[in-house]
Structure 1
Amino acid sequence: MDEITALISKGKSLLEEGNFEDALGYFDQALLLNQNDPELWNLKGVTLRSIGRYEEALECFNKSLEIDPRDKFAS
């Protein structure tokens, strides 16, 4: 498992547990390694939305769609 996959996996686990702040940290670390993954931007957006940071979440969802306009997972 490469580093990005491990970071995303840990972030998803924390997100599912409701540990949003820590999940956000893992998604941010993964984005430092790969800025071109629409799913990763979407995950960050979901996390930000979960903690009430709606404008930042919207920016992430828009970034996801900018990378892949057909992204069926963009929230």
Structure 2
Amino acid sequence: MDKIDDLVSTGKSHLENGNFENALSFFEQALLLNPKNPDLWNYKGAALRSLGRYAESMECFNNSLKLDPRDKFSS
């Protein structure tokens, strides 16, 4: 696995376990490495939504759609 995959995997694990702040941190690190990846924006948006930070999460989902308008997984 490459660094981004490791960060996403760890972030998803934290998200599933309810550690939303930690998950957000890992997704943000992954985005620093690849800000053009719509999936990473979706993960960050999911973490923010779980934290109740809805306006910020919508920005992330919108970024994902800007990168890939056909993204059916963008929440």
Length-normalised TM-score, structure 1: 0.98
Amino acid at match of 2:56: E
Q: Is 1:12 matched up with 2:12? A: yes
1:38 equivalent in structure 2: 38
1:2 equivalent in structure 2: 2
What 5-or-longer segments of structure 2 have no aligned partner? none
User: Any residues of structure 2 matched to 1:14-29 within 5 Å, and which?
Assistant: 14-29=14-29
1:59 equivalent in structure 2: 59
Identity %: 65
Other structure's SS at 2:74 match: coil
RMSD of the alignment, in Å?
A: 0.4
* Matched positions, count: 75
The runs of 4+ residues in structure 1 deviating greater than 2 Å are: none
